[in-house]
Amino acid sequence: MVRSTRSSDMAFTLLELLIAIAIIVILAGLVLVVGTRARAKARAASCMNQMRQIGMALGMRAERGIPAHWPHRVERWSTHEPLLLCPAGPQEGMTNYGVNERLVGKPFQGADTGVVVLLYESKRAGTLIAGDESDVDERHLGGCNYVFLDGHAKWSKEVPEFGP
């Protein structure tokens, strides 16, 4: 059997080359989408961890009422200054987390602490942030992180009731 050694037998055709490039582009696009979503989930998890730490510090004061100047109190306890700023939120103030305004300055004596929001992600950034359901910023994948009075934290697309 005689084999042909012409170079055209071993070369790629233009169609084969275009198909290979298209497959590479599709795979790169899939990796980019998955990577972007993974980074967003990592930011949300980092934010929730920070909020849980702040919530533990503030939750110990709930029976006496949350002080209006709560970011200054938390800052004293923390050696990690960006603890008060969500990486995905506005960065111009001291904090971009908000405290439930119904808990500021008033002692909480409710029985069901697992349904009362203590801390949430605010649309605003500043020094003293206290608000209600209308101030919630859905910055993490269309939802928001919340910390409740009993210390648990969760991400949700639905805004829970703030009230005691």
pLDDT, one tens digit for every residue, the chain (164 residues): 555 555 556 677 888 889 999 999 999 888 887 788 888 888 888 889 888 988 888 877 777 777 777 777 666 666 665 678 887 877 777 788 888 888 888 777 776 777 888 889 888 877 777 888 888 888 888 899 999 988 899 999 998 888 76
Give the pLDDT score at 14. Answer: 87
Tell me what pLDDT residue 145 has: 92
Residue-level pLDDT at 22: 94
Beta strand pairing status for 117-126 and 95-100? antiparallel
Distance (Å, whole) CA 121 – CA 103: 16
Distances in Å between the Cα of 22 and the Cα atoms of 27, 30, 61 are 9, 12, 59
Predicted pLDDT of residue 43: 86
Q: How far apart are CA 124 and CA 134, in angstroms?
A: 11
What pLDDT is recorded for position 23? 93
Q: Can you give the pLDDT at residue 41?
A: 87
